[in-house]
Amino acid sequence: MKQSLALLLLCAVAAAAADLTGKWSGSFKAEAADHSIPQLIIVKQQGSALSGSAGPNAGEQYPLENARVNGNNVHFEVTTGEWRFTYNLTAETNSLSGDLKLESPTQSRNAKVTLIRVKEQ
């Protein structure tokens, strides 16, 4: 009985850490900012490795760097010009949320990110 319960819990955890492949849409809001910035993340997952791109919309995308998944923890970086965006997110069934650090040679900001899975039509 205990083994069956342990197996059931393990299966539930594996299901929660489902494949992140697809499009994720949402926004981030930097601390002390008066508005949110749109985000579109396009991801392909193979095991713990991620590839893809991120940006404000489909027409402006930048490659994911140092991208990986560990359980429901998702990490990746994006470089745009002088800015580096470092994402540390938590994956739920159909959402990604967490912290974003924005850094340039002269500035550093923190933001909160919320993304939801885009349903393919």
pLDDT, tens only, 95-109: 999 999 999 999 999
Provide the domain count of the chain.
1
Residue 89 confidence (pLDDT)? 98
CA 15 to chain centre: 18
**69 within a domain of the structure (yes/no):** yes
Which is it for the CA torsion 107, 80, 69, 17, positive or negative? positive
Phi-psi region of 120 (alpha: psi -120 to 50; beta: other; left: phi over 0): beta
Residue 3 confidence (pLDDT)? 56
Residue type, 83: W
What six digits make up the tokens of 103?
Answer: 């850094």
The CATH number of whichever domain residue 59 belongs to comes to 2.40.128.120
CA atoms lying within 13 Å on the CB side of residue 46: 2
> Which of the residues in the chain have pLDDT under 50?
4-16
Residue 1 confidence (pLDDT)? 53
Residue 32 confidence (pLDDT)? 85
Collapsing DSSP to helix, strand or coil, 6 comes out as helix
**26 within a domain of the structure (yes/no):** yes
**49 within a domain of the structure (yes/no):** yes
**86 within a domain of the structure (yes/no):** yes
Q: Which domain holds residue 68?
A: 18-117
Residue 11 confidence (pLDDT)? 42
Residue 16 confidence (pLDDT)? 43
**39 within a domain of the structure (yes/no):** yes
